[in-house]
Amino acid sequence: MKKKIKERKEVFKTDSDIVIKKTYPVKEGRVETPGKFPFTRGVHESGYRSRLWTMRQYAGFSTAEASNERYHYLLNQGVSGLSVAFDLPTQIGYDSDHDLAEGEVGKVGVAIDSIRDMEILFKGIKLQDVSTSMTINATGYILLAFYVALARRQGADLKAISGTIQNDILKEYAARGTFIYPPKPSMKIITDIFEYCSNELPKWNTISISGYHIREAGSTAAQELAFTLANGKAYLKAAIDKGLDIDVFAKRLSFFFNAHNNFFEEIAKFRAARRMWAKITKELGAKEARSMMLRFHTQTGGSTLTAQQAKNNISRVTLQALSAVLGGTQSLHTNGFDEALSLPTEEAAKIALRTQQIIAFESGVTDTVDPLAGSYFIENLTDELEAAAWKYIEKIDVMGGAVAAIEQDYIQTEIGNAAYEYQKNIESKENVIVGVNQFTEDEAPPEGIFKIDDSIRIVQTEKLKKLKAERNSEKVKVLLAELQSKAKAGENIMSTVIEAVDNETTLGEISDELRGVYGEYL
Q: Which pLDDT tens digit goes with each residue over 61-101?
A: 789 999 999 899 888 988 878 889 999 999 999 999 999 99
Between CA 108 and CA 270 the distance in angstroms is 28
Judge whether residue 24 has pLDDT over 80: no
Contacts from 341-346 at CB under 8 Å and sequence distance 24+?
A: 341/307, 341/310, 341/446, 341/449, 342/449, 342/450, 342/451, 343/61, 343/108, 343/450, 343/452, 344/59, 344/450, 345/448, 345/450, 346/70, 346/73
pLDDT at 119: 98
User: Residue 38, preceding bond cis, omega within 30 degrees?
Assistant: yes
Cβ atoms 249, 284 nearer than 8 A = no
- Give the mean model confidence (pLDDT) for residues 200-207: 93
Check residue 449 and give its pLDDT: 77
311 has a pLDDT exceeding 60: yes
Give, for 255, the enclosing helix (H) or strand (E): strand 253-259
Measure the CA–CA gap between 298 and 259, rounded to whole angstroms.
Answer: 6
Whole-prediction pTM value?
0.89
pLDDT of residue 308: 96
The CA distance from 143 to 137, in Å, is 9
Asked whether the predicted pLDDT for residue 2 surpasses 70, the reply is: no
Average pLDDT, the chain: 93
Query: Highest-confidence range of 194-203, 223-232, 440-449, by mean pLDDT?
Result: 223-232
* The pLDDT of residue 346: 86
Give pLDDT, residue 27. 64
Identify the DSSP state of 18.
Answer: P
**How does residue 30 score in pLDDT terms, banded at 50, 70 and 90?**
confident
Pairing between β-strand 204-205 and β-strand 162-165 as defined by DSSP bridges:
parallel
How many CA atoms lie less than 13 Å away from 224 in the CB half-sphere? 28
Paired with 54 in beta bridges are: 331
Q: Which of 298, 297, 305 minimizes the C-alpha distance to 343? A: 305
Residues 51, 360: Cα–Cα separation, whole Å: 10
Q: What is the pLDDT of residue 1?
A: 53
